């Protein structure tokens, strides 16, 4: 996925150097060939970086990138071309200065490299204890992309074939099932014995929690958007998530694939007001105070008046947003596909802080823990604890897979599940699994591997885990809903 993402930011910035000719610009094979290691820096955030420059079969100098932070190890970056101003490849602009190689990567990342005997690699994931055997499992007829919802001992989960399932949480017994006519990719909302859920035709259903009986159904759009699930293609938008309704004071708030955002009477489904964004809304709204915050694929976060739908402000965050906005302290936090986690001022939408995630989509909705945030990442494959005040990292743990879901918490443990794609040249292999992580220091405790996908480019988990009593519930792309036993009390003061 990293090569696809980089194409959106690549550019060439040549750096002038009066000493380039004296240091071998006229003989690039002699001056540039070999291993180079050092640092890549963006806005003060530095990480290890390396280049392997070597002749190819045609006699040109081929360039291979090593960026352990995103698990890139030998990613081909075209061939090196010498010019009067330095050297360039697909995404690099370099200047040889003595024994140092300096320049830029992907337009804005500063490089400071030196000749080296070795190249930087990402650390191998350690061997971990096998986690507990599931207390029970239940298999759907299709992949499960959505996250579960639990109410009064009953688990509600949708699957890609449009079936909604209600199961007993203690043992996984199926209580009832109902077809909603199109795939279900978002979580359901339960309120006062009624279940609210949206299908892939942008239809909002109100159902009885007891038996699935339909109270009402409301179309949210006239022309639902075709969903583009993850694939190897560079044009894939990876549109795999669905919005869950939010509720406040008897009003439902929910977005649709055509960019429409709706406020509806929870009892009848009657429309109260409507706001139109310019891109799909695949995340759940945040209701705080008298404002509703929504995020869209159109690169914007919007603040609306809760009662009228009047636009209070909109913030252009530069890339699609698929995470749910969350309130951390007095700020609204979202992750973007522009590789950033952002905190916005709730009254104006101005950016309080921004943290670059090294070419990694931030698909994971942050889990707020007082003054800290727990959040996963994509190509970066990390679970991080961040300071909610400024976004600085407290600890970071490599999970070796796409950490798309919102982390779950039970006792001393944080739980994050990962998805994995097939092997990609120049990138370390991924792992699709459920991980238990010490929430205090990020140390990995145990793992459980995921099953094979039924029909997806990805394997593993794209939804979030949920703690219900002493069970951890999560649905997989193998079509299985897993219930793992967990300890819910902390052993630390």
Average pLDDT over residues 361-381: 95
pLDDT(197) > 50: yes
* Amino acid 16: pLDDT: 27
Instruction: Give the tens place of pLDDT for each residue, 55-66.
Output: 999 989 999 999
Dihedral over Cα of 485, 188, 299, 65: its sign: positive
Instruction: Give the tens place of pLDDT for each residue, 383-403.
Output: 999 999 999 999 999 999 999
Instruction: Give the tens place of pLDDT for each residue, 93-150.
Output: 999 888 899 999 998 999 999 999 999 998 888 899 999 999 999 999 999 999 999 9
Contact 340, 356 (CB under 8 A): yes
Label residue 234 by pLDDT band (50, 70, 90): low
Average pLDDT over residues 247-257: 98
Instruction: Give the tens place of pLDDT for each residue, 175-194.
Output: 999 999 999 999 999 999 99
CA-wise closest residue to 105 among 62, 143, 67, 71 = 67
| CATH code, residues 125-145+367-493 | 2.40.128.630
Instruction: Give the tens place of pLDDT for each residue, 260-300.
Output: 999 999 999 999 999 999 999 999 999 999 999 999 999 99
Contact 410, 467 (CB under 8 A): yes
* Amino acid 229: pLDDT: 93
pLDDT(72) > 60: yes
* Amino acid 14: pLDDT: 31
pLDDT(426) > 90: no
Contact 40, 109 (CB under 8 A): yes
Tokens at residue 139, please? 């298999």
Contact 341, 354 (CB under 8 A): yes
pLDDT(161) > 90: yes
* Amino acid 24: pLDDT: 40
More confident residue, 365 or 359: 365
Q: Do β-strands 109-115 and 136-139 pair in parallel, antiparallel, or remain unpaired? A: unpaired
In 259-299, DSSP assigns E strands to: 260-265, 271-276, 286-288, 291-295
Supply the mean pLDDT for the chain.
91
More confident residue, 413 or 487: 413
* Amino acid 22: pLDDT: 36
Q: How far is CA 154 from the centre of its chain?
A: 28
pLDDT(246) > 90: yes
Average pLDDT over residues 340-355: 97
| Three-class secondary structure of residue 68 per DSSP | helix
* Amino acid 282: pLDDT: 97
Average pLDDT over residues 425-448: 93
pTM of full prediction above 0.85:
yes
* Amino acid 8: pLDDT: 38
* Amino acid 432: pLDDT: 96
- Domain map (residue ranges) of the chain: 2-115, 125-145+367-493
Label residue 29 by pLDDT band (50, 70, 90): low
């Amino acid at each position: 996925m990293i090569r696809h993402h980089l194409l959106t930011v690549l550019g060439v910035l040549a750096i002038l150097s009066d000493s380039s000719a004296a240091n071998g610009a006229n003989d690039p094979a002699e001056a540039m060939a070999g291993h180079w290691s050092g640092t890549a820096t963006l806005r003060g955030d530095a990480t290890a970086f390396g280049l392997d420059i070597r002749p190819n079969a045609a006699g040109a100098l081929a360039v291979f990138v090593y960026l352990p932070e995103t698990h890139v190890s030998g990613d081909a970056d075209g061939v090196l071309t010498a010019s009067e101003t330095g050297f360039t490849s697909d995404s690099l602009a370099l200047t040889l200065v003595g024994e140092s190689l300096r320049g830029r990567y992907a337009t804005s990342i500063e490089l400071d490299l030196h000749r080296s005997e070795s190249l930087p690699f990402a650390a191998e994931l350690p061997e971990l204890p096998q986690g507990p055997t599931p207390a029970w499992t239940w298999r759907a007829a299709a992949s499960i992309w959505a996250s579960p919802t639990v109410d009064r001992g009953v688990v509600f989960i949708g699957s890609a074939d449009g079936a909604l399932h209600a199961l007993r949480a203690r043992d996984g017994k199926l209580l009832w099932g109902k077809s909603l006519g199109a795939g279900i990719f978002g979580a359901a909302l339960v309120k006062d014995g009624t279940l609210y859920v949206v299908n892939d035709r942008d239809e909002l259903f109100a159902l009885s929690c007891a038996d699935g009986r339909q109270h009402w159904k409301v179309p949210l759009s006239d022309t639902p958007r075709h969903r583009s699930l993850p694939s190897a293609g560079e044009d894939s938008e990876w549109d795999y998530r669905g919005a869950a309704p939010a509720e406040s004071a008897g009003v439902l708030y929910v977005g649709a694939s055509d960019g429409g955002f709706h406020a509806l009477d929870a009892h009848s489904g009657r429309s109260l007001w409507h706001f139109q964004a310019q891109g799909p809304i695949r995340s759940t709204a945040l209701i705080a105070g008298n404002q509703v915050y929504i995020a869209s694929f159109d690169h914007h976060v919007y603040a609306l008046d809760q009662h009228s739908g009047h636009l209070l402000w909109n913030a252009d965050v530069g890339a699609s947003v698929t995470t749910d906005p969350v309130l951390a302290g007095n700020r609204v936090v979202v992750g973007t596909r522009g590789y950033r986690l952002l905190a916005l001022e709730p009254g104006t939408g101005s950016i309080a802080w921004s943290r670059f995630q090294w070419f990694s989509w931030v698909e994971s909705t942050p889990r707020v823990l007082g003054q800290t945030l727990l959040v996963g990442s994509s190509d970066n494959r990390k679970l991080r604890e961040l300071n909610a005040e400024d976004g600085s990292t407290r600890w970071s743990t490599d999970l070796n897979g796409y950490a798309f879901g919102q982390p779950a918490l039970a006792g001393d443990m944080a739980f994050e599940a990962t998805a994995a794609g097939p092997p990609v040249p120049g990138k370390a292999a991924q792992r699709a699994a459920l991980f238990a992580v010490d929430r205090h220091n990020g140390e990995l405790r145990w793992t459980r591997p995921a099953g094979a996908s039924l029909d997806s480019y990805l394997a593993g988990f794209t939804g979030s885990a949920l703690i219900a009593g002493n069970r951890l519930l999560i649905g997989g792309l193998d079509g299985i809903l897993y219930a793992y036993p967990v300890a819910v009390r902390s052993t630390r003061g």
